[in-house]
Amino acid sequence: MSPRARLVATVAALAAILFAGTVTAAGVAAYREGSIRVAVHEADPEGTDFSIAVPAALVHGVVALVPDHVLPAVDPRVAEVVPVLEAICDDLERRPDFVLVETWDADEHVVVAKRGGSIVVEVEGPDGTVRVGFPVRTIRSVTGLVKAAVARGAASV
Amino acid sequence: MRHAIRIPALLVGLAFASAASAADMWVHVRVEERGGERVHVNVPIDMVGHILPHIQADRLRDGKIVLEDHDLRGTDLKEMWTALRAAKDGDYVTVRGGDGNVRVSKRDGMMRIDVDDPSDGGQQVRVRIPLRLVDALLAPGENTLDVAAAMRVLAESGAGDLVTVTGGDESVRIWVDDVASPEEGASR
């Protein structure tokens, strides 16, 4: 193999390793962060039937990239909610799965639960089923954004 | 009588759930109408214990409910409780009538309220509140109810029923134990 071919092969191998590493890291991050999931299934055969799963890591990345100066100025009183949300996240993150609320009536069955690091809300009724799930870490990310917005609101007063 | 029982029962359950620190204890609320609506709530006491100090609302601050002027004054309440606490075990209120029987008593470290209402499908209400819980709630000092302290005591008191309503069209049970979701999966 000529020195030039060897160089090209080495660069290609490095690029392949970098690509594979990036993909693996992104996969691991996406797996660890979980997904924001929304699924709607209408009982009507011609009704809506869709399911979407957005990697929460993507949301966290976007949240991290939002510059403070583009955030709206939020009333500082909202700040009172932030520590409550943070305390909820702290507790939920370390707590095993559980059902918080479950209701049944003649038509509907509603569940609010923590499952696998996510808060899950499920509504089953005669018209169909709606399932929404979002990782607890996403709440924390958004809470951070609210915190920054509150700080901006306080600064503007 | 349904709503008269359901709302206080839920409030009592949520109030009990609203602060405590003993790990892995849960307050469960079950409200079930015969052949109708069912509501199950499972609240980790420890979780609420973490959250409560962070809530700074108008009348709930640092885990304490502030009694305002138009409420029963906290000092009066505390004096009444001190007198009751010092009294011997026994029945304090007994009402017998066509509409039902009511008995309020103190026994075995518990405040007990028993209501039997034959007019409402033979409904029975049983409330059992540990005395130590009320002691903590009415801790001496300011004009406040120390919910956080009361809940710590509740969690330390161990498993047991707090409120049960049976016999009518609706049953209610509020209890404490160390199981997260007693019926999870059973209903699916």
Which residues on chain A are in Cβ contact (under 8 Å) with B177?
none
pLDDT above 60 (res B18): no
Record the tokens describing residue B75, joined without a space: 């000092």
Among A15-19, B73-77, B84-88, name the one with the lowest average pLDDT: B73-77
Among A90, A94, A103, A129, most B C-beta atoms within 10 A, so best to mutate, is A103
Residue A31 pLDDT level (bands cut at 50, 70, 90)? low
| Dihedral in degrees, nearest 10, Cα atoms A44, A48, A54, A59 | -120
For residue B177, what are the contacts with CB-CB under 8 A and spacing of at least 6?
B25, B26, B28, B159
Q: How confident is the model at residue B6 (pLDDT cuts 50, 70, 90)?
A: low
CA atoms B33, B34, B35, B39: torsion sign? positive
Of A83, A95, A100, the CB nearest to B54: A83
ipTM of predicted complex: 0.73
Token pair of B77 as six digits: 């309440």
Phi, psi of B110 (to 5 degrees): -130, 145
Residue B180 to residue A98, Cβ atoms within 8 A: yes
The pLDDT of residue B187 is 41
Residues of B in contact with A131 (CB under 8 A): none
Beta carbons within 10 angstroms of residue B94's beta carbon: 11
d(CA B179, CA B172): 18
Give contacts of A76 with chain B, Cβ < 8 Å: none
* Per-residue model confidence as pLDDT tens digits over B40-51: 999 998 888 788
CB contact under 8 A, A102 and B55: no
pLDDT at residue A144 is higher than 50: yes
Residue with tokens 């002691």: B135
Cβ neighbours, 10 Å, residue B68: 11
Whether A105 has its CB under 8 Å from any CB of chain B: the answer is yes
Binary contact (B51, A88; C-beta < 8 A): yes
CB of B178 less than 8 A from some CB of A:
no
pTM of the model: 0.75
Query: Quick one: DSSP state of residue B23?
Result: T
Nearest to A84 among B40, B51, B187 (CB): B51
> Among A43, A13, A28, A113, which residue's Cα sits nearest to residue B40?
A113
Can you give the pLDDT at residue B29? 95
C-alpha atoms less than 13 angstroms from C-alpha of B175 in its C-beta half-sphere: 16
By CA distance, what is B62's nearest residue in A?
A84
Instruction: Give yes or no for B73 touching A (CB within 8 A).
Output: no
User: Distance (Å, rounded) from C-alpha A142 to C-alpha A139?
Assistant: 5
pLDDT of residue A71: 72
Residue B61 to residue B74: CA distance in whole angstroms: 16
Query: pLDDT for B7-16, tens place per residue?
Result: 555 555 555 5
A45: which 2 tokens? 């055969």
pLDDT, tens digit, 9 for 90 and up, residues B124-159: 999 999 999 999 888 766 678 888 888 888 888 888
Q: What whole-number distance in Å separates Cα of residue A39 and Cα of residue A50?
A: 6
pLDDT at A63: 74
Q: Coil, strand, or helix at residue A153?
A: helix
- Residue B119 token pair: 């007019």
% of chain B at pLDDT higher than 70: 79
Instruction: Give the mutation candidate from A99, A143, A147 for the B interface (greatest B CB count, under 10 A).
Output: A99
Please list the residues that pair with A115 across neighbouring strands: A118
Sign, Cα dihedral of A72, A75, A76, A77: negative
Among B43, B50, B57, the residue with its CB nearest the CB of A87 is: B50
Q: Are strands B110-117 and A128-135 parallel, antiparallel or unpaired?
A: unpaired
Query: What backbone torsions phi and psi does residue B83 show, to the nearest 5 degrees?
Result: -65, -45
> CA–CA separation, B138 vs B131, rounded Å?
11
CA angle A25, A60, A68 (to 5 degrees): 130
- How far is residue B62's CA from residue A84's CA, in Å, rounded to a whole number? 12
d(CA A36, CA A115): 13
Q: Would you tell me how many other CB atoms lie within 10 Å of the CB of residue B111?
A: 19
Across residues B6-30, what is the average pLDDT? 61
Cα–Cα nearest to B21, from B172, B157, B128? B157
Inter-chain residue contact B40 with A99, CB threshold 8 Å: yes
